[in-house]
Amino acid sequence: MKIKTFFGDTMRQALDLVKRELGINALILSSRRVKSRPGLDRNGSMVYEVTAALDGEVEPLRAAAVVSGDTATDYARSALDAVGRGRPTDPIREDQGCSLAYSPSYGIESRDELVRLRRLIYSLMAPNLMRRSALPNEASRTVLSEMLANDMDEPLAYDLLERAREKLSGEEHLSTQKWSDAARRALAEMITVAPLEDSHAPAGHNRTVAAFIGPTGVGKTTTIAKLAARYTLEHQRKVLLVTLDTYRIAAIEQLRTYAGIIGAPIEVIADVAGLDRALAEHAQKDIVLIDTVGCSQREAGRMKALSMYMRDTPSIQKHLVLSATTKSIDLDEIIDQFSIFGSTQLLFTKLDETSTFGPIINKLVRTRKPLSYFTNGQKVPEDLTIPTARDVAGLMIPAVWNN
């Protein structure tokens, strides 16, 4: 094995040099930000150092190459180091990826630039991962790189490709498009979608009661307004709005405004006893949508009384509202903290604010919780969608390839 070190003013430039000189089979051993070495005419400025290796014979080591460029992003450091040590990589967290997309200090000018950088990194990583998975060809490795670049958990990505392999035959194994289609079908089979309609009987029959729980700032109130408008205006249902969020006057007024526009009653409730009363008084309503206080995931004490009530009332659907921009590790913490509410469905907001959907897929598959809705903007009621399982899978795996 031959080892060589490359330097660049950006991580992307250093990785480009690795790929250009050692090819896609290079093994990334380490990457770090260092002061430029003496004699490289960089005046002691900080550069990125990537050490890579290649099995077999390569050209004798030449002087380390240095290229110039803008200030670099170092979000890939941990993932590359992990591959070098031969252990599974953690998903790239949002604070190492998406949230940097708008930070001038990291030199990434757009989401497209971020996606290109991720794909470059994983195109280098994937061949090394293949040594463990024994995927058969370049077509399957291309789909793997795409899934990993979209922050899909590595074990899930391999599982999907194994399932995809079983769906292919003959020359289909040579087509990236066929691998992509098969992986997308396999992923769709692992996702359940269950919006309110799935449990809502026709008007005049049993009503649907749904509570929307989750951290502060994820868009619970706006989501409820979208649902209320849709059911009132499009489906002619009798809707009751209930808010338990007495901490924020603005939230109450926002919901009251929407209620006035669509002609729906609203109840402002201080505690679960008041909720019992409101549900009894409005027994004739088809749908009851409950807005809850936006508890931080670290303030479980504030949620105790409400969670106990809802656990004891299984007829109330619980929709855990999560932002698609939340870091994967924080999504895990939120889901665990809100597990005190019992069985929940997942509802993801702010899909228009991210270009990376792996964390959403990871949580849907890991928790096996059904998905109810996506929201992708502030317009009421337009920016609310009921995705199919294939729609969700399509976020993760492109539908069209060149071959």
The answer to whether position 127 is within a domain reads: no
Domain check: are 359 and 214 in the same one?
yes
Q: What is the pLDDT of residues 108-141, one digit of tens each?
A: 445 555 555 655 555 555 544 544 445 668 888 8
Q: Tokens for 11?
A: 């991580």
* Backbone angles phi and psi of 106, in degrees to 5: -100, 0
Overall residue count recorded for the chain in this entry: 403
Per-residue pLDDT, 182: 92
**Domain range spanning residue 360?**
196-387
Domain check: are 319 and 211 in the same one?
yes
CATH of residue 280:
3.40.50.300
The answer to whether position 279 is within a domain reads: yes
Q: Are 104 and 59 in contact (CB under 8 A)?
A: no
Q: Are 121 and 157 in contact (CB under 8 A)?
A: no
SS3 letters across 308-334: HHHHCCCCEEEEEEEECCCCHHHHHHH
Cβ-count burial of 15 within 10 angstroms (0-12 exposed, 13-18 middle, 19+ buried)? buried
Which residue, 83, 76, 152, is CA-closest to 114? 76
CB atoms within 10 A of CB 195: 20
Q: What is the pLDDT of residues 329-352, one digit of tens each?
A: 899 989 988 888 988 999 999 999
The answer to whether position 163 is within a domain reads: no
* More confident call, 202 vs 275: 275
Q: Are 346 and 334 in contact (CB under 8 A)?
A: no
Per-residue pLDDT, 251: 73
Which residues are within 8 A (CB) of 309 and not within 5 positions of it... i.e. 6 or more apart? 272, 275
The tally of domains found in the chain comes to 2
Per-residue pLDDT, 140: 85
Which residue, 343, 341, 268, 267, is CA-closest to 309? 341
Which residues are within 8 A (CB) of 390 and not within 5 positions of it... i.e. 6 or more apart? 184, 185, 188
Task: Identify the weakest region by mean pLDDT among 5-19, 70-84, 114-128.
Answer: 70-84
* More confident call, 313 vs 117: 313
Domain check: are 202 and 85 in the same one?
no
Distances (CA, A) of 198 to 100, 208, 266, 391: 39, 10, 24, 18
Domain check: are 375 and 242 in the same one?
yes
| Long-range CB pairs of 106-110, under 8 A, 24+ apart, other chains included | 106/71, 106/72, 106/73, 106/75, 107/10, 107/69, 107/70, 107/71, 107/72, 107/73, 108/73
CA angle 293, 295, 301 (to 5 degrees): 110
Q: Are 89 and 125 in contact (CB under 8 A)?
A: yes
Which residues are within 8 A (CB) of 393 and not within 5 positions of it... i.e. 6 or more apart? 184, 185, 187, 188, 191, 361
Domain check: are 219 and 352 in the same one?
yes
Domain limit, last residue, from 49, 78, 96: 96
The answer to whether position 21 is within a domain reads: yes
The answer to whether position 224 is within a domain reads: yes
Per-residue pLDDT, 62: 39
The answer to whether position 106 is within a domain reads: no
In 77-110, which positions are buried (b, 16+ CB within 10 angstroms) versus exposed (e)?
bebbbbbbeeeebebbbbebbbebbeeeebbbee
Running DSSP on this structure, what letter comes out for residue 173?
Answer: G
pLDDT at 320 over 50: yes
Domain check: are 78 and 213 in the same one?
no
Domain check: are 264 and 383 in the same one?
yes
The model carries a pTM of 0.66
Q: Are 238 and 285 in contact (CB under 8 A)?
A: yes
pLDDT-based confidence at residue 88 (cuts at 50, 70, 90): very low
Domain limit, last residue, from 53, 75, 96: 96
Per-residue pLDDT, 56: 54
Domain check: are 234 and 85 in the same one?
no
The answer to whether position 153 is within a domain reads: no
Pairing mode, strands 46-54 and 208-213? unpaired
Per-residue pLDDT, 43: 58
The answer to whether position 306 is within a domain reads: yes
Domain limit, last residue, from 38, 67, 96: 96
Domain check: are 209 and 77 in the same one?
no
